[in-house]
Amino acid sequence: MPEPLDVLPASRVRLIPPLKTKPIRTVLRWQLIATAVIAAVAGAWVGWHGVVSALLGGFINVAAGVAYAAILGFGVTRTTGAGMSLVAMFRAEGVKILLIVAQLWLVLSLYKDVVPAAFFSAFVVTVVVFSMAILVRD
């Protein structure tokens, strides 16, 4: 029977980088699939600008999810306690939110031919998909 983590010495506890965990990889894959499906529908519906708009809307959350996982891994070690783990999670969530806001502003201010329905559909669907990470077993 394996020993509980609280009785193992710190040198034997394995820390998996967040980008290598099954929930994060699965959710990022789902986001990419959802983005591709919405882009295909938007392309058939309104053409090239629909495809680009949907891809931009979806990639905003994919990039934010990758940044979240990358930032989450910084400063967290095998011996990090619950308080420091929460600080790391809040820091990663803050970076994710700032990145989303900055990317939304960039796309909406620079891409003049954005198709709002395609852009925001992909954006909202990928936000919902990221929240489904809790359903993926490790």
pLDDT in tens, 36-60: 999 999 999 999 999 999 999 999 9
| Residue 138 pLDDT greater than 80, yes or no | no
CA–CA distance, 44 with 29 (Å, rounded to integer):
23
The type of residue at 95 is V
As a whole number of Å, the CA-based R_g of the chain is 18
Please enumerate in sequence order all residues whose Cβ is within 8 A of that of 84, keeping only pairs 6 or more positions apart, or say none.
Answer: 75, 76
pLDDT value of position 116: 95
pLDDT value of position 15: 55
| Residue 74 pLDDT greater than 90, yes or no | no
pLDDT value of position 25: 85
Predicted confidence band of residue 13 (pLDDT cuts 50, 70, 90): very low
Domain ranges of the chain: 16-135
pLDDT in tens, 22-33: 878 888 899 999
Across the chain, mean pLDDT equals 84
- Residue 95 burial (10 A CB sphere; 0-12, 13-18, 19+): middle
